[in-house]
Amino acid sequence: MFTVFASEITIRPDDIDLNNHVHHTKYLDYVLAARYIQMKENYKMAMSEFHKLELNWLVSTTHIDYKRALKLEDKILVKTQSESANGAQSRVLFWIVNKETNKVAAEGYIIYTLISMKTGKPVRIPEDVIQIFSV
C-alpha cells in the first residue's frame, strides 16, 4: 500500500450552509485543495511541473460517502492515498477526519485522468510520474 498523507484544512464561514453545517459540495473542495498541497509538499511534484510538461489532471469520477456533519468550529484533516495508476488514470482514496474526535466525516475516492493540454485528450501516465506517486 502507498503512503497516506494528511493536510489540515480550515473550515471557513462561507463553507456553511443553511443547516449550519458544511455544505456537501465543500467536501470535494477540501480533497482537491489537500491533494494540490500534497503534490508539492509530499510528492515533490507540484501541479506547475505537470503544466510545464503541457499535462494536466482532470477529475473523471468522484465518489463520496458522507458519514458525519462538519461545523464551523471543527478542524479537519484530509487524508489521501494513491491506490493505483493505470493507463491515463490514477485512483486516489480519501478520508476527511474531524481532528478533535478523530472520526471520519466523509470518505471516498477520486479517479483523475491525465490529459495533454495541447489536445485535451488522455495520455498515458509516464513511468517516472508513477514512481514519484508510488511512495
pLDDT band at 119 (very low <50, low <70, confident <90, very high): very high
Tally the domains of the chain: 1
CATH number at residue 76: 3.10.129.10
DSSP string over 35-59: HHHHHHHTSS--HHHHHHTTEEEEE
Which residue carries 489536445 as its cell?
119
Contact residues for 118 (Cβ-Cβ < 8 A; gap 6+): 54
**pLDDT tens per residue across span 40-68:** 999 999 999 999 999 999 999 999 999 99
pTM: 0.94
Judge whether residue 1 has pLDDT over 80: no
Domain span holding position 76: 4-132
Instruction: Look at the alpha carbons of 78, 28, 69, 74 in this order and tell me if their dihedral is positive or negative.
Output: positive
Q: How much is the pLDDT for 73?
A: 87
- The Cα 55–Cα 37 span in angstroms is 18
pLDDT in tens, 89-101: 999 999 999 999 9
Of 133 and 30, the structure prediction assigns the larger pLDDT to 30
Please write the tens of the pLDDT for every residue from 69-117.
999 989 999 999 999 999 999 999 999 999 999 999 999 999 999 999 9
